[in-house]
Structure 1
Amino acid sequence: MDSSLPVEKGGRRTSAHSAFWIMTRRVSVLAACVDMAFLVFFLAVGSPLLAWLNLVSISMYGAAYLLLTRRRNLPAIILIWTEVTAHAAIGTMLVGWDSGFHYYLLMFIPATVVSGGWRNVIAPLLFLFLAYLGLHVAAHFVGALAPLNDTALLLLNVFNVSIFFAMASYTARFYYELVRKTERKLRELATKDALTGLSNRRHLLDLAQQEIARARRSDEEVSLVLADIDDFKLINDGHGHDAGDQVLVHASQLFRGICRAQDTVARWGGEEFLFLLPATGQDAVREFAERVRMTIADARFEHAGQSIRFSLSLGVATLAESESLDDAIGRADGALYRSKTEGRDRVTTALHPAHEKPTSWQGDMEASPV
């Protein structure tokens, strides 16, 4: 019985908007089931007027559900509001305030408050307040027009209170899950690359700082692999940018299959990727990088009926004891540069920073041509 009129900025359909209408359809079905129970109850206690009133309510919820499935949302919401307010008013006036029918008016409040800006919700909230207050005053002075016996009234009150708690809990849980889902999406947008689904540059840097701190406490090594797709511009120029995007996606999927659970790979920028490998020394990272290179070299990617093959150039570096992350990435980048200048499709390992000559870092690299 809970619903409201959500407002969208710019008229755009959002996930929250869609979820709201899904909830409204579900609540319409639940409300119809509640009215069926009312129908049986009032027939059992000898109150046919209220029984047939619930039959009308069932029909209104059925009509509202059909309207919602056809996306005629405004008429459906008007129908639901009409049913709830009329049902609460008639039930209260016939049976009395102690029946608990007035609780159903309160169920509109949370959905109304979250449905839009204050300008859009003030009028519905004011209507609910005046309707609730007016119904209370009228019930107080007029009394029950068709009273039930004490036992039936107590059962009705318990039933209405139970339904109110159940529906209010469902609504609160719905909005809680919606907030959690939105938080997860925001977190994903903040940490993932939109095209490939890999970690983005900022997220990998955050993870790397945490991993380096942990590794130094436990006296473990951490290594980096910087990889770049060779001649990527030729792929874009020869096959189109959509093909280039799909090559990045395909490569990312292969990278995921190679990485261990504790490894992280990020799209570093353009066609570059950076691997963060905890508990991995220089020999192991070299073997890992070679495995990545061979996996890409052996892969075939089909796009628009054409087979596209591509290769990787890679540079690897193992962090020194007191080396900063930026310096280690710089060494890996230097190693990658040498892989490019010496023919591409190869792995180059950066030497320990203590072995580097200050005049020429290129002379201090070990290349592993393939």
Structure 2
Amino acid sequence: MAQGRKNETGLAPVARRTHSRPQFWQLARRCCQLAASVDVAFFFLFHLLGSPILAWINIASVSLYLAAFHLLNTRRNGLAIALIWTEVIVHAALGTLLIGWDSGFHYFLLMFIPALFAGMTTTRAWIAVAGLWAFYVSLYAMMWFVEPLQPISSNALLGVFLFNLTVVFCMFSYLSLFYVNNVSSAQRKLQFMATTDPLTRLFNRRHMIELAEKEIARCERHPLQITFLLLDIDHFKQFNDRYGHDVGDRVLQRMSALLTSVLRTQDSLGRWGGEEFLALLPDTDGEQALLIAERMRATVEQDQWECEGFALSVTLSIGVSEYRPGEDLSLAIARADRALYQGKEAGRNRVELELAGL
């Protein structure tokens, strides 16, 4: 059964590693288009140089690249890769044998190296690279004993060499740019996943702790004030029990958007856990924080909306605490939690500031 899962060319490792990478196959399609365009240019170049054999070889190469492009579009990736391998190896060998090593056709073989490591397991890639190296060296050694079969003038040979070198430089630059952008994109996605709550798209608890600790460190160096808001959706369990957890999730998402719209650019908001949110307000004292918290509470209270046919109304209770220099972060948040509890006890839908004596 394991053999049955291989593709029609037997290139199972390539398909297994890269079938789920749309960017890789998008790059392969673009490379097919670029290579076909280069071969069209070669067709006219070798006609001008009076080398019809090489000119028509490039027409065959264009056909192979167009076929590989079609196979990639129809997800027959293994066969497409086999065609590309065949074209490059045969074309490089024929070009070298016909007009000589100094033509630079052998440089195109080096284009496979990054693709091998991107498309195979590390062990198989090293084996393939070793085979490619052996072929490269064998071709070089052969040209010590075999004269070019269809030599061209030294000036024409120099022109072909410079053309090949330019194409290889451009394609390597394109590949390098692609992989750098791909790595950067992957790093941004990992960073987003590591710092963001997947449901609300707010910062997660761990990242809020990191932000708060950085802000506290800044506060210890400079005479600045920091205030924390701990927000809790009133009677949230009733939304889940009465309307279902999907509606409960929609409530959390709605609240996240509303609260974010009220906060300032320098403020940070994260999901602290369950239906609780934590807001970090830098350069803000308790009185200023109370005004912001009250604006958040009123915005949520006034928001009347429908979800899956249900008319919903949500309220918040908010606890506020000012950071005291020298104290631990957990103590500052615990004081906000006590203020939140006071608001719950006093009837909910309230903003409470933790008193200095508590």
TM-score, structure 1 normalization: 0.90
**Percent identity between the aligned chains?**
45
Q: Return 89-98 or 136-145, whichever deviates more.
A: 136-145
| 1:69–1:13 Cα change, 3 Å | closer
Amino acid at match of 2:255: A
Would you say 1:81 and 2:85 are equivalent positions? Answer: yes
1:180 matched residue in structure 2? 184
1:120 aligns with 2:114: no
Report the more deviating stretch, 225-234 or 302-311: 302-311
2:201 is the counterpart of 1:197: yes
CA RMSD of aligned residues (A): 1.6
Return closer, same or farther for 1:5/1:47 CA change in 2, 3 Å cut-off: farther
Provide the secondary structure at the position in 2 that maps to 1:143: coil
List per-residue Cα deviations over 1:232-269 (Å, max 9, x = no partner): 11101111111111111111111211111110000000
Contact in 1 for aligned 2:15/2:78 (Cα 8 Å): no
- Aligned twin of 1:320: 324
Post-superposition CA distance 1:137-166 (Å, at most 9, x none): 222211210011011100100111111111
Q: CA deviation at 1:13?
A: 5.6
Deviations 1:297-356 (A, max 9, x none): 11133221222211111100111233221111000000111111221111111012xx23
Aligned residue type for 2:43: L
1:7, CA displacement in angstroms? Answer: 5.3
State the match for 1:270 in structure 2: 274
Name the residue aligned to 2:306.
Answer: 302
- Cα distance between partner residues in 1 of 2:308 and 2:92: 62
Map of 1:72 onto structure 2: 76
The answer to whether the 8 A contact 1:39-1:50 is kept is yes
* The 10-residue stretch of structure 1 (239-248 or 272-281) with the greater mean CA deviation from structure 2: 239-248
**Which secondary structure does the structure 1 equivalent of 2:134 belong to?**
helix
After TM superposition, what 4+ stretches of structure 1 lie above 4 angstroms from structure 2? none
Q: Which moved more, 1:160-169 or 1:93-102?
A: 160-169
Q: Secondary structure at the match of 2:324?
A: coil
Q: Is the 8 A contact 2:13 2:121 kept in 1?
A: no
Q: 1:10-47: per-residue Cα shift (whole Å, max 9, x none)? A: xx964xx1111010011111111111111111011111
Structure 1: which 5+ residue stretches go unaligned? 357-370
1:140-159 → structure 2 map (5 Å cutoff): 140-159=144-163
CA distance in 2, matches of 1:186, 1:314: 32
Which has the higher mean CA deviation after the structures are superposed, 131-140 or 343-352? 131-140
Q: 1:342 aligns with which of 343, 346, 358?
A: 346
Residue equivalent to 1:283:
287
Equivalences, count: 347
1:38 to 37, 42, 49: 42
Q: What is the Cα deviation at residue 120 of structure 1?
A: 2.6
| Aligned equivalent of 1:18, options 17, 22, 34 | 22
Offset of residue 210 of structure 1: 1.0
Aligned twin of 1:359: none
Would the aligned equivalents of 1:32 and 1:57 in 2 still touch at CA under 8 Å? yes
Segments of 5+ residues of structure 2 without an aligned counterpart are 1-11
Distance, in Å, in 1 between the alignment partners of 2:104 and 2:54 is 14
Report deviation, 1:216: 3.3
The Cα offsets for residues 87-115 of structure 1, whole Å up to 9 and x where unpaired, read as 00111100100000000111101111232
